[in-house]
Amino acid sequence: MLRYLRLYRSFLRFSFSRAMEFRVDFFFRVVMDLMFYITQIGFFAVIYGHTRELGGWDFDQTLVFISGFFLVDALHMTLFANNLWMFPFLVNKGDLDYYLLRPVSSLFFVSLREFAANSFLNLLIAMGISAYALWSYPGATPASQVLLYLALIANGAFLYYILQMLFLIPVFWLHSARGLSDVFASFTKYAERPERIYQGYVRRVLVSLLPLCLIASRPAQILFEGPDFWTLVHITSVTALFFLVLLLFWKLAVRSYSSASS
């Protein structure tokens, strides 16, 4: 474990020095994510101009929910996004060889090699938006509930990473992950809307087979309505199960990897 922490510290040092070399890109990426936040809030502001509630939530609640999603997105962008973007190229060009030869877990190395220092600033901005949303939310939210909510948001970021990785791994067989990657991008929009707008089978799928509602929506629901033992068990067990599936899928994929011609 200590070895992995030391290794991650090296990743951080390397990533920060690289980010400082491309200062304009650093600035553009910060503004880009800021635009994403503004357009999402703007979208809901327009929608709430025509309805009082959406999926049982008023605008204040939706603001808390969407700011929670921003936290998930910023964590994902900071820790995983750059690495996952590069991953299909590593497989196609045969560069994954270098990762497989290292004396550490290849999945760890592929997923966390690059820390996006520019997105780290956005993580701070997302935290600011989230703090504002929680502060302006008129309902009672005890500190313990807020802490639990933040833990579930961190879990949501991890689940988001797992799901994206599961959509990318087929690149070992399909040679191009573009189609599936775009499909995943389309599906992630389901995570950006309140869970209770979904009904019947769609909702069941979104909390089990493709658990996008567990990323930010369910944690927000727990924050507003208080913790429920079975909901917590549900979220943690689904995350654990998907992580297990990812590990097995990764093992299977690496076994079928044939270097440059893969």
Partner 1 sequence: MRARLFLNVFTIEARKLMSYRADFWINTLVGSLANFVLVYILWSAIYLEPGQIVAGYSFDGMVLYYVLAILLGRLVTGSGKPLDVGQEIYEGSLSRYLLFPAPYLSIKYAQRLGMMLPSLIQLAMLLGAYWIFLPRPAEVEFKALAVLQGVVALCMANALYYSITVVLQLAAFWADNVWSLVIMMVFVSRLLGGAMVPLATFPDAWQPLLAALPFRYCFGFPIDTLMGRVPTHEWFFGMGVSLAWFGLMCVLGRAVWSRGMLRYSGVGI
Q: Which residues bind partner 1 (CB under 8 A)?
A: 22, 24-25, 28-29, 31-32, 35-36, 38-39, 42-43, 46-47, 49-51, 54-55, 174, 176, 178-180, 182-183, 185-187, 189-190, 193, 197-199, 202
Query: What is the Cα–Cα distance from 224 to 61, expressed in whole angstroms?
Result: 8
Cβ neighbours for 205, distance < 8 A, ≥ 6 positions apart: none
User: Closer to partner 1 at the Cβ: 29 or 76?
Assistant: 29
Q: Are 148 and 227 in contact (CB under 8 A)?
A: yes
User: Closer to partner 1 at the Cβ: 4 or 43?
Assistant: 43
* CA Rg value for the chain: 19
* Nearest distance from C-beta of residue 185 to partner 1, angstroms: 8
* Nearest distance from C-beta of residue 174 to partner 1, angstroms: 7
Q: What is the DSSP string of 107-159?
A: HHHHHHS---HHHHHHHHHHHHHHHHHHHH--S---HHHHHHHHHHHHHHHHH
User: Closer to partner 1 at the Cβ: 42 or 142?
Assistant: 42
* Nearest distance from C-beta of residue 17 to partner 1, angstroms: 15
User: Closer to partner 1 at the Cβ: 186 or 256?
Assistant: 186
* Nearest distance from C-beta of residue 207 to partner 1, angstroms: 15
Residue 210, token pair as written in the block: 């493709």
